[in-house]
Amino acid sequence: MEQRDARPTMGLQDALELLPQELHRKMLPANRTFVLRRTSKTMRAAVENDKLDTVVKSGVKFPNGAGLQDKLNCLNAWCRMTVLELNNCGLREGGGRAIAAALLVSRTLTNLNLCTNELGEGGGQAIAAALRVSRTLTNLNLYDNQLGRGGGQAIAAALRVNRTLTNLNLRTNSLGEGGAQAIANVLRVNTTLTELDLEHNSLGEGGALAIAAVLLENHTLTNLNLSIDSLGEGGGQAIAAVLFENHTLTNLNLSINSLGEVGGQAIAAALRVNTTLTNLNLHWNSLGRGGGQAIAAALRVNTTLTQLNLDYNKLGKGGGQAIADVLRVNTTLTELDLGFNSLGEGAGQAIAAALRVNTTITNLNLEHNLLGEGVTSDVRQSWGNRGGELVL
């Protein structure tokens, strides 16, 4: 049984004064605070029952966690803290251990954001240990924390037993192929994680192969970010092969991975049969004319994709013309990014003509495509007053 009387026996007003102002974003509305302070019993009930959303102010630091533990103890003692954001606070490994200690006793925290804190492998391992026993945390952001392979493997091991985390951001942590393999292995048994961000982790083709293999077995992951992970043509082909059989992924980011024309054609082939993917980001992958034409052909039969990013892909006139042709018949795509593709005036004119037929595109980016003033004017006229955003 919970022993509520075990809290500090100081006066309530003194206890409230200890709550750190630099962590507060919301405590109590001002009009309620004025009235409730007249009765300490009522004030205590309000503080204890209110959900607390805390965020550190810009510039506030806790070097290597100095002073953080006491502040978190105060918050845990008197409030139902549900959200904690400590971005760029210089926490390092010491701060990671302080956060881990708070996680071990918290019964209310659901969202934790620790991005850009140089937690390192040790800090990551401390957080991972707390994840093993946490029963409330659903969202964890560890972006840019130098976790390395060891920290990534520790987080992966924790996910084998954690049953509450649904959203995990491990972006920019130098996980490498070893970290990717550890994450992939745990996705075979974890059934709660739905969103996973592995951007900028140098996973390589080997990491892509590991992730791809597990996506044939995992049936809970819906959002996957593999941007800037050096997947290459081979990695792109491996992910594409999965899309033939995976029926849970709805959002996939493969941007800046040097997929090339071959990788683009493999993705296109998968789009012909995949019926669950709605958002696909292929930004900056050198798909070329062949990749663009293959994607366009797939869009003739795909009826689920609504958002597609093809900018910076060297599509040229041929790829642009193919996209224009398919816009006449595709009725599901609503957002399309074709920026920086050197489409030229001919393809631009074809797109303008297609827009007079297509009524579903509501957001279109055609910037830096050498369209010329006349074509640009025609596109604007074809766009009409449909709303959304047109970028030229």
Residue by residue, what is the 3-state secondary structure of 229-287? CCCHHHHHHHHHHHHCCCCCCCEEECCCCCCHHHHHHHHHHHHCCCCCCCEEECCCCCC
Q: Is residue 98 part of a domain?
A: yes
Intra-chain end-to-end CA distance of the chain, in Å: 64
Q: Is residue 287 part of a domain?
A: no
Question: Following DSSP, what letter does each residue of 59-120 receive, concatenated?
Answer: T---GGGTTHHHHHHHHHHHSEEEEEE-TT---HHHHHHHHHHHHHH-SS--EEE--SS--H
Q: Is residue 205 part of a domain?
A: no
* Residues 346 and 325 sit within 8 Å (Cβ to Cβ): no
Which residue type occupies 185? N
Q: Is residue 196 part of a domain?
A: no
Q: Domain residues for 37?
A: 1-174
| CA dist., res. 243 & res. 211, Å (int) | 12
Q: Is residue 241 part of a domain?
A: no
Q: Angle at which helices 176-186 and 148-159 pack, to 10 degrees?
A: 0
Question: Position of tokens 């001919």?
Answer: 346
CA atoms within a 13 Å half-sphere pointing along the CA-CB vector of 59: 0
Which residue type occupies 33? T
Measured between alpha carbons, how far is residue 199 from residues 64, 227, 248, 338 in Å? 26, 5, 20, 22
Helix (H, G, I), strand (E, B) or coil at 384: coil
Number of domains, the chain: 1
Q: Is residue 268 part of a domain?
A: no
> What's the confidence (pLDDT) of residue 223?
98
Q: Is residue 256 part of a domain?
A: no
pTM of this structure: 0.89
On the 0-12 / 13-18 / 19+ scale of CB atoms within 10 A, 132 is middle
CA atoms within a 13 Å half-sphere pointing along the CA-CB vector of 272: 11
The kind and range of the H/E element at 309 are strand 307-309
Both tokens of residue 25?
Answer: 């974003």
* Residues 249 and 280 sit within 8 Å (Cβ to Cβ): no
> What's the confidence (pLDDT) of residue 70?
85
Residue 14's CATH number: 3.80.10.10
For residue 313, what is the DSSP state?
Answer: S
> What's the confidence (pLDDT) of residue 57?
66
> What's the confidence (pLDDT) of residue 44?
46
Percentages of the chain per state (helix, strand, coil), in multiples of 5 = 45, 10, 45
Query: Mean pLDDT of successive 10-residue segments in the chain (392 residues)?
Result: 40 48 40 32 48 69 90 78 90 97 92 97 98 96 97 98 98 97 97 98 97 96 98 98 97 98 98 98 98 98 98 98 98 98 98 97 98 98 94 98
Q: Is residue 23 part of a domain?
A: yes
